[in-house]
Amino acid sequence: MTTDRTREARTEAVRALEGEFSELINRFRRVITENANRVSPGMLPGAYKVFTTIARRESVTQSALAEALMVDKGQLSRTVRELEQLGLVERTPDPNDGRSSLLAPTAFGLERLTAARLPQENALLENLVDWPIEDIHNLSRLLHALTSGINP
């Protein structure tokens, strides 16, 4: 049985964690905005998110992308067209479904993404230089457990 003291301590710890997440989210918003502008000046953060999701999945249908991002299909269609016009994404016929197509990053798109991410990757490497590698792996494992809803 959980004591009142244990419950209060857990609530306090969760509130502190929520505060740190809030700071992390604010920082991430800045990073995403900066990265989007490095990929293509004026690119909106939402388009960057669509692009990075396509790049991470390597090949995805537009309907699967809409489901994964939980976005309006009309807005997603406009964003994908913009990414195509910028040469970042290409569309190919889906061999499993002749009615749909697969979205994939272009070589140019992957080059732009790598270049855009480099400043933050270097900053993160620098910030974690004194962390034991095991702690970095642990943080990744715990964040994955939290975002997946599994017990670490």
CA distances from 97 to 36, 76, 89, 146 (A): 32, 20, 20, 35
Distance CA 89, CA 122 (A): 26
CA 75 from centre of chain: 18
What pLDDT score does 88 carry?
97
Burial class (CB in 10 A: 0-12, 13-18, 19+), 43: buried
pLDDT of residue 119: 87
Whole-number pLDDT of residue 55: 96
Q: Give CA 17 to chain center in angstroms.
A: 20
For 14-29, what is each residue's pLDDT tens digit? 999 999 989 989 988 9
The pLDDT of residue 1: 57
Reading the chain (152 residues) residue by residue, the pLDDT tens digits are: 568 889 899 999 999 999 998 998 998 899 999 999 999 999 999 999 999 999 999 889 998 999 999 998 899 999 999 999 999 999 998 888 778 889 999 999 999 999 999 888 888 889 899 999 999 999 999 988 988 888 88
pLDDT of 3: 85
| CATH number for the domain whose boundaries are 4-148 | 1.10.10.10
Q: Which residues contact 151 (CB under 8 A, 6 or more apart)?
A: 145
Q: 5-42 b/e with 16+ CB inside 10 Å = b?
A: eeeeeeeeeeeeeeeeeeeeeeeeeebbeebbebbbee
